[in-house]
Structure formats: C-alpha cells, structure tokens
Structure 1
Amino acid sequence: MNKHEICWIEFTLNSNGTPQYSVYYGKDKAVLSSSMGFKLDQNISLTENFKVTKIDSTSVDETWKPVWGEVSQIRNHYKQLTVHLAQQGEKSILLDIIFKVFEDGVGFRYEFPSQPNLKSFIVRDEVTEFNMAGDHKAFWIPADFDSNEYKYTTSPLSQVDARKWGLISSGKIEVNIPDQYAVQTPLMLKAANGLYINIHEAALVDYSSMQMHVDRTNFKLTSSLVPDARGNKAYMRAPFKTPWRTIIVSNKATDILSSKIILNLNEPAKIENTSWIKPMKFMGVWWEMQVGKTSWNYTDQMDSLYLKGKYIPNGRHAANTANVKHYIDFASKNGIESLLVEGWNKVWEEWTDDKEDKFDFVTPYPDFDVKEISTYAKEKGVKMIMHNETGGGATSYERQMDTAFRFMNKYGYGSLKTGYVSGIIPHGEHHDGLWMVNHYIRSIKKAADYHVMIDIHEPTRPTGLQRTYPNFMASEAGRGNEWNFFADGNPPEHETILPFTRLIGGPMDYTPGIFKLRNYAPGVPDRQMHSTLAKQLALYVTMYSPLQMAADIPENYAAHMDAFKFIQDVAVDWDDTKIVEAEPGEFLTIARKAKGKVDWFIGAITGTNSRESVISLDFLDKNRTYMATIYEDGKDANWKTNPESYQIKKIKVTHKSVLKLLLAPGGGAAVSIKPINK
C-alpha cells in the first residue's frame, strides 16, 4: 500500500507462516503486527504454515445513495488487497484474506474458496488479533452474550473487568460472561498520542458476533465469538465469506463519527421497491408503563384465566381503546406521524416465563378493539406501529411470522417493533449468537415481504445491514433512555459515548424526549433523569435514527408545548451531517440538513461538566438569511438540581454567524435554523 495515504497497512507471513497485519495512520501505528487465523473442527488449525500463492489489488471510487440516512450520498473509495494463501501439509487448505483500505480505516475479511480438501466445516474459534501500541483509554461494556445494556466504563485497557457491574441479562454470570476480561464491540479507544481507534465488524451474516478478549498486560485484543448451544461459532461450506473486521482510525474524534466504512462494507440494497420505507417520528403507549403508572398486563390474577375462564382486570392496563385514542388525538393534533402501543395482546402475565409459546401476536386483550383503533387512527392521519414482544421465544415467533405480518397488513400497521427480553428459546442459544443473528435477519426479510419496517429490541448490536435491508430502520442493542427509570439510570456522559460505540454500526432507538425529569415514578421519589430538558431535545440530532420517538406522555408535553415545538420540527432524514465537535465521554455537537429542504438542526450535549459550545454556521447557504430558534439550558439549569429549566430565543443568522451555546452540567442545546427568504 502507498504509505503516503492517511491510512495504510502491512501484510506479512512470519517465520512460522502465520498471517500478520499492521495498520498505520500516517506515521503512527494504530495496530501493531497482529496474527490472523482459525481453529476448525477435525483438529484443523489455520494459524501457521501458510505460503502466499498470489496477490491481487484494485482500486474503487464510487458514490451511492442510501434510501435514508445521515447524508444523501456516500463515497466508497478504497484500495483492495487480496492475499491468496495455501497452508502447507499433506492436504493443503486455501484461505484468502481481503483488505479494503480507506482513508479513515481498514476492513478485512476471510474467504474460503472452493477447494478439494475443505468442504463443510465448523469454526471453533477465530483468532484474529488487534495488537495495541499501549494501554489506551477504552470506552467499554462487558462481553455479555445476552445483553448490550450496560453502563460504559472509561478506563485503561489494563483495568478492564467485565464482571465489575454484575449481571443484568437473564442467566448466570459464568455462562453469559464467561470471560472476565472480554469486552463488546464497537470498542472505542484513545491512545496517549491522541489517536482515536474504533474496532467493530460489518455485514454480520451466517456467523456469530465478535467480542474481544483483552490481554491486560500486553494490550492485545483477540476476537472471541459468541458460542451456540453446542459451543460452536459458525457452520460453513466453502465457498464462504466471514463478516468484515473494521478498524476506523483518525487523530480527530469527529472523523470517527463521520466514517462510512461500515456501511460501505455491506452489500447494496436487496429491496428493489423502497418507496414504502419512510423515516418517521412516533409516540407510544409505553413510558407510562415503564414508570409504573400503568401496566402491560391486563390482570394480576393469572389463575383467573385458567380457573374461571376469564380475566379479572387489574384496572391499570394501559393499552385500552380509550387511552390509545387519547394518544392518537395528541399525535394527530401535533403532527406526530405514528403511534406505538405495547401490551395490547395476550399474554403479558407470563411473558418472561421460560416456556416457548407465550404470545400469538394476533389476539388482543378484551379492552383493546384493534379494528376500532385502526379506523380511528386512519381518520386522524396517524399510522399505527405494531409491537411483537417474543419474551425470547424466537422459535415460536418464527412459526407465527406470516400470521403476524398478515395481521399487520389487514389493520394497516406499516411498521413494527420486536423484542427479545428474557432468555432465548431455543434453549442454550444467546442473543448475540449465530442462531439469533440469522433469526433477526429472517425477521427483517419477512417484514420486507409484507412491506413492513422493523425496529428490533434486545438484538445483537448492528453492523451496517441497514444498507442491504433498508426496512431495518433501527434497533436498541444498548442502554437506552428507559434505564433512567431502572436502577441508577444512565450517567450524564452516557450519550456522549454512545455515538462512538453502539451507534457506529447503525441507528439506535434510544427513545429521547422525556420532559418530566423528576418525580415521574410512583413510589420512587428520588428517581430522575440524568439530563436537562434541553439535552433531551438535543438528542434528536446527536442520537441518529430514522425512527425517533417522542417518548414521554401527552400530559408532560402539554406542560411545555413551547419546547415540544422542536420535536415537531426536527427532521428524521438528512441530506448532510456535520460533526462540529466531539470528545467521547465529554461533549458532542452535530449539525444536520433536513432531507430535501434548506432547514438545518443542531444538537449540542455535554457530560458531567458545563461548557460553552462555539458553532460556526459556515455550512449555511451564502445567499440566505435564516431564523435560528435556540432551545438551551436556563442559567440555573443542572441535571441534578434543576433539570427542567430552559429558555428559548430567536436570532437572525447567516453563514458568517457564530453561535455560542452555554450547556449546563448534564445539559444541552437544540437549534432549529430555517430560512427567512425562501
């Protein structure tokens, strides 16, 4: 590779014939010489005794347009190096390694070509290494096979301890986190010399999720694949291609967030007609259950169904026809396109039980009139969002998918939120394992067959597959806003870390927009959001998703309709994005241009410390004057003591203007910029 490029690689075979690679950023080594290979079944070790039989290289520079996204077009510019290897021995085994080198990083994958000595085989372990040059600062969560919903720890690699938080997934810690020194990807690192390094994967299909074991002494990271119920990692038949391993590198934190490497490493869209795929904002009969005001379940006496033949209602069931209409009315009046309703179908009383068949996905509770609600929503111009919680019963859901999607088509549900809370069935499988990786893709494909957009909760973290399946709008796969009700919530720096970690692979359904920030949970008076109200607005810009939820209840929005105006106005699809300033764990400011418009929106957030965000508006059109509406923290705002203090002001701006926004501790600012002279 040309060493004058910003990012470049070296590939070698050491004296044992072990494939090794290094990654450079200019003159700096981002990844020291690191070994590559596999351990397969039949005692096959593909780690040494290789010889290079051929090397191919090519260059690509093209531009493509995503169906939706942070920008309207993406440049795919890389140099490709394909190394053809043959392992020496009685039966030679062929292995190709493909590198794609971009200006801001590298992607590489393994390919097993058709060959006489390797047909069907099982991957026991992948031994790809990422050898770091020092004890880098790391932003990490534990490598839990069944949950990505941990708080982030910021520490040197030498202090990684995956069991420090205990276990939040369903199961036992020695099963779900067997490696005390393993972390989840995407992993964000910062070297002492100021180099930022992000490690993840792209195009995860037919393969287990990659986590990483941390050698806390030598700072070497080794791929660690999530096992299936039999302890295996993948079942292959040559020819076969693994997912891409990705390394994004820059001396600027903003470049990490601007990178499109992971999307570029995924295949183009497989859905020909995408006209039905539309980004949108939505509300939900959801938060009121999260905080305990109402319930998902219809009865508290499950025996009443089995012993008496009918439910005894608890009087707290949220998904009832009258309450849903109340939400529809608010959404319709205030320009929110869609409404999600959770807890509408039987049998939430047993949804976390360890049994296979829990829901049938078409039978509503007695107080939820699906036909009446669908008709009412259509009259009000509101689209209904279906909710299919599986309780982890993935096999049951697969058997019922066609029935569930036909039901959605019948009643006009064009989008769907799925969920996988609790342990996975088939028993012994994990949320991040091979079986479930392919289950999520099967659900995405099935949704596309019925022209339904999908948002998946509790899945493996995304790897850019939204390019290939653009109806895959968002997923959770991380510690969302709801955790501010659970336990001790999310610390103020949480949302400044997530874009560098969880969001690297794809959009997150973070559920922003909580306006009542204290005393919202009955019986838990000290529970509060670790955020100001202005920061909740800013998250609509900084936490990218084509599905954005106005997550609070109508009554809490009614008390702050002047601030709610930003949620009404902010776009969910974009022509352009500028990462203005960023530092993981500290602050983030992003500006985005609405799709097909000249309007811009800015979100600025900070962690624990207050700060001033200085924003040049030089990205605005030179020949226009704009009105900027600024929603910012009040002078006395503080996430802990006065979170709902905010102020709104309007000023005229041009491309020569500079905004100075004061952010309170745990605070933020949101700005709507619209042209005056259209």
Structure 2
Amino acid sequence: MKYRFSILLVAATLLRFVAPAQTIHSPSRKLALTFQLSPAGEPTYELKYGARTVVRPSRLAVLLQDQPGFDKGFTIANVDSSRHDDTWAPVWGEVKQIRNHYQELAVTVQQAAAQNRQLVLRFRLFDDGVGFRYEFPEQANLKYFTVSDEKTEFNLPADHRAFWMRGDYDTNEYLYSTTKLSEVSAAAAKPTPEIATQTPIGPNAVQTPLMLKSADGLYVNIHEAALVNYPAMALLVNGATHGLTSQLCPDATGAKAYLQAPAHTPWRTIVVADNAPAILASKLILNLNEPSKLTDTGWIKPQKYVGVWWEMQINKGTWSYSDANNIKLADTDFSKLKPHGRHAANTANVKRYIDFAGKNGLQGVLVEGWNVGWEDWFGNWKEEVFDFVTPYPDFDVTELQRYAASKNVKLIMHHENSGSVTNYERRMEPAYRFMREHGYDAVKTGYVGRIIPRGEHHDGQWMVNHYVRVAQKTAENHLMVDMHEPVRPTGLHRTYPNWLANEAARGNEFNAWSAGNSPEHETILPFTRLMGGPMDYTPGIFQIKLDQYAPQNKGKQVHTTLAKQLALYVTMYSPLQMAADLPENYAKFDDAFQFIRDVAVDWDDTRILAAEPGDYLTTVRQAKGKDEWYLGSITDENARQQPVKLDFLTPGRRYTATIYADGKDADWAKNPMAYRITRQVVTNRSALTLRLAPGGGAAVSFKPLP
C-alpha cells in the first residue's frame, strides 16, 4: 500500500509541473496541432490530419555555444491564439490571388535555470499544413548568441515512401531516389560523379523539400520558408524509428548561425493532403514569407528568352576566348591573346540569336562567356576570376545594345563568379552600373565551385545572406535576377519579386554531358524542388539526339520526347522560361515551336488535373489577363493514356484546341522526336484523351473562337 501511494505521489507531483496541452485546429478543422511540454520541460508538437497522425510527438530545440540551449527546463509563460484571413495578389505567379488563412498559436516558454530566458514558439496552421519557427525576443539575458545546432524533429508514424536527394552543403544537383524512408543511405543514392563540387553530409542525410507518401495515401512534404540570416536545413533520417531531425549547414568554425536578439529562424513547413494535386496547389510556403518589399514593381517583366548557352553545353562552342591558361585578371592583356575560334559569345553569333528572338516575339537573349576570365575560371579556387565589366575583344557591347534595341529585344547579363563570392561582393555595384549603362535589365548569376570565403558553403548563413543581398541590390538598380547554384528557394520571391527564378536543382543541361536525367525526373521536381519557388530548368530542346555536334557527345541525348519538352513549359513553373535549343533546330521544327511562341509565363489561374510523384503530372494554366489556357501533361518511363476534362474552360464559349502530342511510335530512347499536331473545336463539356509515350508528354493550347 505504501508503494502504491509513493507512485501516486510522484505522479501527482509531475502533473503539477506538466503544463496542459495546447491544441488548435486549421480553419476548416482538417488539421489539428498540439503543443505540449514534456515532463523534462522540452517543447513538443504533434500534427494530425483528421484521425490520421502526420507527425508523432516531436521535440523542438535550438542549442547554443557557450551557454545553455533552448531545449529543456521550460515552463509556459504565455499562450496566445489568433485567426488570420486575407487575400493578396502576387506581382507575378501561378494564380491571380492567394488566400492567406490560418490559425496561429504563439507559446512563450521560460527557463528558470537560465535566468528566466524566454523563447517564443509560433505555429501557423493552415488547411494544407503548418509552419512553425523559433523566435528569440530581445531580453536582458540574451543579446548576441551563436547557434551550435538545431534539433527540430519530424517523427513520422510509419516507414513512408520517400522521394529524396542526398543531403549536401554545396549542391542540389543529385538525381532523386525513391525508396522507403528506412532505406535512405548514400549507397542507395544514384551516383553522380559529374557534380564537381560536393560536400555530402552523411549517409542518412537528405535535402529538403522532402516528399513522402504513406501506405494509406497521405502525402507529406517537409521544407522551410523565408530562409533569411540562417543556414539551410537538411534532414537526418533515423530509419529504425522513422524519425527526421534538422541538420544545419556549418561555417568554417563549425558554428551554424550568429544571431542578435530579437531574431527568429525560418519557418519549418509541413504540407499535407490526401491527394497529390493538393500538394502542388499549396501556397503555404508563399504565405509564410513577408509581403513584397518593393513599392514599384512595374519594371518587373516575366519573359521568355533564348541564349548563347546550349551550344557550349553540347561542345559546339566555348565560353573561353583563347587556349591560354594561368590567367591573371589584373595583368593580362586580353586583346593580345590568340583566339581559338570557337568562342560562342561573339558579336556576329549574338546578333543571330537577337534576330531569332525578335522574329519570334521572345523578349530576351542571354549571353554567357561575353566577359574576360573564362580561360581558367573553374577548379582553381582563385579570388580574382572575373570583373564583370570587361568584354572579350570579339564582343561589342555598344553595337549589340544598339542592335538588340532595334529588334525590340533585351540582352540578359551573365555573372558567373566561380564561387569567388567575396570578389563578386566587391564588384556588384560597378557591374550593375555597367548593366544599366548598356541596357541590360536582367542578370543570371552563377556560383559554380567551392565558395570563397574559404570554408563557407553554398547553404551556409553567410551565403544565404549573400543571395538576399543580391536580390536587394538588383532591386535597388531595377534589375531582375535568376540565380544558378544557389541554396534551394523558400518562397522569397514574394518578398523580392525581382528574384524571378533559381536553378538549385539538376537542370536540363545535365542531359548534354552526363548520364542525364531519368524520365521520371521532371515528375518528381514539382513535388520537391519547385515547392519553394520557380526553377529555370531550360526546357525546349528539340534536337534530342546530340551525337551530331561533337565526338564527345556520342550516345548523349535528352531523356524525353520532343512533345514532353513542350509540356515542361506548363508543368515546370517559372516566370522566366528559356527556349534552350539552337535557332537552326527550331527552324527545322517550326510548327512545334509555335507552342513556345504562344505559351504564357504569367498566369491568372493554375489547376493540377492529375498527379502522382515519380509517375505523371497534368497541369493547366490560364494566361494572365486572357481567356487562353495552356496544358502540359508528362509521364515517366511508362506510356499512359491521360483523360482530361475541359471543365476549366469558360461555359458557353468555343475554343480551338491545338494538341502537340507524341507521335504514334514515339519513345524517349528509341524515337524521341516523333510528334504530331492536331486541332479540334472544344467547349467546357468536352474531354480529351492524351496518349503519352514512354518518357513523353503532350502540350495543348486553348484559344477562344470569335
């Protein structure tokens, strides 16, 4: 009897110190989030979708250097709950308006053993998921502090199917693997020796966004939103428990982040739905970002462009002007270098692209390799690589400015910095001034190679802050920016709408010179990389087989059909879309090129008609300010019949549907360039059945009849 009394006494004592759970529901009560402190005073959360568990009780913790961490010993000091509901219009995007509707829970916790230091844990629960973050209020006992680690947990209820990429601090260009979560390992990841700069985190690390599917059909996507002044988050997988733990990118000293109160982390995001299209339709990540900081946005123009780019990828031309090596930027007289004759960014060749863009109504021409320094730009970890203002002798900046203007075309600047970011930081202002003086209003930046400052990584706090500085500085100069090899995006294009696109994934170029991208690749990317923002994937390759250009291209090809390349303009969202192939190849397939001429890059409405990660995707979008719709449908290596109801069309109107489809015998490997174009009159009561070849796709334009 005494023994039983002791147990009851201990239990009663514990109950006195365990705060009651705090539960909130999403606006339509689809989701329930519960916050509670453990008996040790550890913050925990749990997420449910109806009766189904999305995340089991999981701990929240941020550890600090040289002082107690924000991990345990907490009591609840304050609880605040509120509801928010408004609608906002993006400067550009997939839809005309976005509803921002959530229930918020803000819990202030306090550590008595750490001089009553406080932390705010803020949750925003939407009908399609949750975002939460750590907030560090300004207080007497917390001013400057260094984050040594973050231990945010996502404990899953089962061994879900995962669509994942190997965790790495310097690249997002791995191929995706599809396995059970318990099977995640570096050994299971597809080998990618063609990626020059890799810093793998460990055999159990994966990048975000991470796409998951449960055995009972629940879809879960884990990522982050509003990544500012903090390193990117990867995830460590515990296969035995189906648990995930945040892993932050360190700096050269091993520290993760240097903060000054008041401060906060990015939002950790969990998007959840019982169907795959709802995941792609989610605007949760955008809603968690701050509104636009730009008051004047009229100069920001979504656009299509061509470029002196693909011919370098396929070994038809080069970025460099000469065969010299050991170049010293400040000391070399580039006018005395002997040209090798393969330099693609020469005045005559660029004019050819300008002519093509002007004739076909494309707004921009990207020119890579125009500036001095490409002779030994990569792999030497050198500081002074490019100055971003000095053209090669065969590139006439003034004449090309005049010529482009005469064709109503804008040149797009290219700033590859070879990872020498300190050099780029010093030279940004004169480089952007040079752009304004010569009529450029958009720039593609590049971060190929190991980062300088040495010891920093592409995904660390220092580089995250650099990308934001570039977005800010370009905005100040009324310049649009497209970043390649950056950290994966987290919705910051809402805050900086001049930040049109990023690469930050394995793009179409890998098909030119590597093992390429598997046919399922483009069916996974919308569920992973594109959850955080638009991708400059560079679609539109029509000459699928690449052997004809150079001996080293033997056996190389794009791993899609031609029709699928058209469909990507709809399924791979970006306000900046490249017609990536050579002008002469488009001339050979001019009837197919008509879809690229027509397709929009800014939209009033988007609907995901059918989707399954790794298998297929069908998306239809309404062009901005028009009653025109464009549809893209793609598949993996398997052929499919895709039925499409046209109930999205305006009732009572008739449309011409132009269908760009795989040919009868099309196959991504055996017959990739076979296509056929048909037309028919349709209404919102009509239906289509699209035949998708292995690795293929279909694109459809719907234009109203008078």
**TM-score bin (small chain):** over 0.9
Partners of 1:283 and 1:340 within 8 A in 2: yes
What residue is the counterpart of 2:666 in the other structure?
Answer: 637
2: CA distance, partners of 1:621 / 1:447: 40
Q: Which amino acid aligns with 1:48?
A: K
The residue matched to 1:541 in structure 2 has which SS? helix
What residue is the counterpart of 1:354 in the other structure?
Answer: 381
CA shift for structure 1 position 334: 1.0
1: CA distance, partners of 2:557 / 2:355: 28
Partners of 2:524 and 2:613 within 8 A in 1: yes
1: CA distance, partners of 2:506 / 2:327: 36
CA shift for structure 1 position 169: 4.8
- Residues 310-459 of structure 1: matches in 2 within 5 Å? 310-352=336-378, 353-459=380-486
CA shift for structure 1 position 136: 0.7
What residue is the counterpart of 1:248 in the other structure?
Answer: 271
Q: Under a length normalisation based on structure 1, what TM-score does the superposition of the two structures give?
A: 0.98
2: CA distance, partners of 1:486 / 1:193: 40
Question: Which of 255, 270, 275 is the matching residue for 2:298?
Answer: 275
- Residues 468-479 of structure 1: matches in 2 within 5 Å? 468-479=495-506
Q: Which amino acid aligns with 1:162?
A: A
What residue is the counterpart of 1:619 in the other structure?
Answer: 648
Going from structure 1 to structure 2, the CA distance change for 1:308 and 1:25 (only over 3 Å counts) comes to closer
What residue is the counterpart of 1:568 in the other structure?
Answer: 597
2: CA distance, partners of 1:326 / 1:459: 31
1: CA distance, partners of 2:195 / 2:689: 43
Pair 1:42 & 2:66 matched: yes
What residue is the counterpart of 2:588 in the other structure?
Answer: 559
Q: Which amino acid aligns with 2:394?
A: D
Q: Which amino acid aligns with 2:458?
A: H
What residue is the counterpart of 1:464 in the other structure?
Answer: 491
What residue is the counterpart of 2:12 in the other structure?
Answer: none
Question: Which of 178, 183, 197 is the matching residue for 1:159?
Answer: 183
The residue matched to 1:417 in structure 2 has which SS? strand
CA shift for structure 1 position 417: 0.2
What residue is the counterpart of 1:600 in the other structure?
Answer: 629
What residue is the counterpart of 1:628 in the other structure?
Answer: 657
Partners of 2:621 and 2:629 within 8 A in 1: yes
Partners of 2:415 and 2:445 within 8 A in 1: yes
CA shift for structure 1 position 301: 2.4
What residue is the counterpart of 1:93 in the other structure?
Answer: 117
CA shift for structure 1 position 8: 1.7
Pair 1:670 & 2:699 matched: yes
Deviations 1:155-210 (A, max 9, x none): 11111113542665545x6xx11322100000000011110000000000000000
Partners of 1:206 and 1:434 within 8 A in 2: yes
Pair 1:646 & 2:672 matched: no
CA shift for structure 1 position 85: 0.3
Q: Which amino acid aligns with 1:189?
A: L
What residue is the counterpart of 2:37 in the other structure?
Answer: 13
What residue is the counterpart of 1:23 in the other structure?
Answer: 47
Partners of 2:327 and 2:373 within 8 A in 1: no
2: CA distance, partners of 1:170 / 1:291: 18
Question: Which of 259, 263, 273 is the matching residue for 1:236?
Answer: 259
Partners of 2:68 and 2:114 within 8 A in 1: no
Q: Which amino acid aligns with 2:550?
A: P
Partners of 1:269 and 1:468 within 8 A in 2: yes
Question: Which of 611, 623, 629 is the matching residue for 1:582?
Answer: 611
What residue is the counterpart of 1:288 in the other structure?
Answer: 311
1: CA distance, partners of 2:371 / 2:102: 49
2: CA distance, partners of 1:170 / 1:571: 35
Going from structure 1 to structure 2, the CA distance change for 1:307 and 1:231 (only over 3 Å counts) comes to closer
The residue matched to 1:563 in structure 2 has which SS? helix
Partners of 2:327 and 2:376 within 8 A in 1: no
Question: Which of 114, 129, 147 is the matching residue for 1:123?
Answer: 147
What residue is the counterpart of 1:199 in the other structure?
Answer: 222
The residue matched to 1:485 in structure 2 has which SS? helix
The residue matched to 2:113 in structure 1 has which SS? coil
The residue matched to 1:158 in structure 2 has which SS? helix
Q: Under a length normalisation based on structure 2, what TM-score does the superposition of the two structures give?
A: 0.94
Q: Which amino acid aligns with 1:145?
A: Y
Aligned length: 674
* Structure 1 gap ranges (5+): none
1: CA distance, partners of 2:517 / 2:261: 45
Question: Which of 171, 186, 209 is the matching residue for 2:232?
Answer: 209
2: CA distance, partners of 1:98 / 1:47: 15
Partners of 1:304 and 1:311 within 8 A in 2: no
Q: Which amino acid aligns with 1:204?
A: L
Going from structure 1 to structure 2, the CA distance change for 1:304 and 1:182 (only over 3 Å counts) comes to closer
Partners of 2:25 and 2:103 within 8 A in 1: no
Partners of 1:141 and 1:162 within 8 A in 2: no
Partners of 1:169 and 1:422 within 8 A in 2: no
CA shift for structure 1 position 302: 3.0
* Structure 2 gap ranges (5+): 1-23
2: CA distance, partners of 1:96 / 1:167: 44
- Residues 505-516 of structure 1: matches in 2 within 5 Å? 505-516=532-543
Deviations 1:347-371 (A, max 9, x none): 1012112111100001000000010
Partners of 2:170 and 2:459 within 8 A in 1: yes
CA shift for structure 1 position 232: 1.0
- Residues 516-555 of structure 1: matches in 2 within 5 Å? 516-520=543-547, 521-523=549-551, 524-555=553-584
Partners of 2:326 and 2:376 within 8 A in 1: no
Going from structure 1 to structure 2, the CA distance change for 1:304 and 1:104 (only over 3 Å counts) comes to closer
Pair 1:54 & 2:83 matched: no
CA shift for structure 1 position 16: 0.8
1: CA distance, partners of 2:622 / 2:694: 27
Partners of 1:170 and 1:423 within 8 A in 2: no
What residue is the counterpart of 1:136 in the other structure?
Answer: 160
1: CA distance, partners of 2:468 / 2:25: 38
2: CA distance, partners of 1:322 / 1:168: 32
Q: Which amino acid aligns with 1:243?
A: P
CA shift for structure 1 position 91: 1.6
CA shift for structure 1 position 414: 0.7
Going from structure 1 to structure 2, the CA distance change for 1:240 and 1:303 (only over 3 Å counts) comes to closer
The residue matched to 1:46 in structure 2 has which SS? coil
1: CA distance, partners of 2:184 / 2:136: 34
Going from structure 1 to structure 2, the CA distance change for 1:304 and 1:480 (only over 3 Å counts) comes to closer
Deviations 1:491-526 (A, max 9, x none): 000000000000000000000000000134411221
Deviations 1:282-331 (A, max 9, x none): 00000000010110000012369979872110100000000000111111
Question: Which of 207, 223, 238 is the matching residue for 1:184?
Answer: 207
**Alignment RMSD (CA, Å):** 1.3
Q: What percent identity do the matched residue pairs reach?
A: 57
Going from structure 1 to structure 2, the CA distance change for 1:281 and 1:308 (only over 3 Å counts) comes to closer
1: CA distance, partners of 2:324 / 2:248: 42
Deviations 1:462-510 (A, max 9, x none): 0000000000000000000001012210000000000000000000000
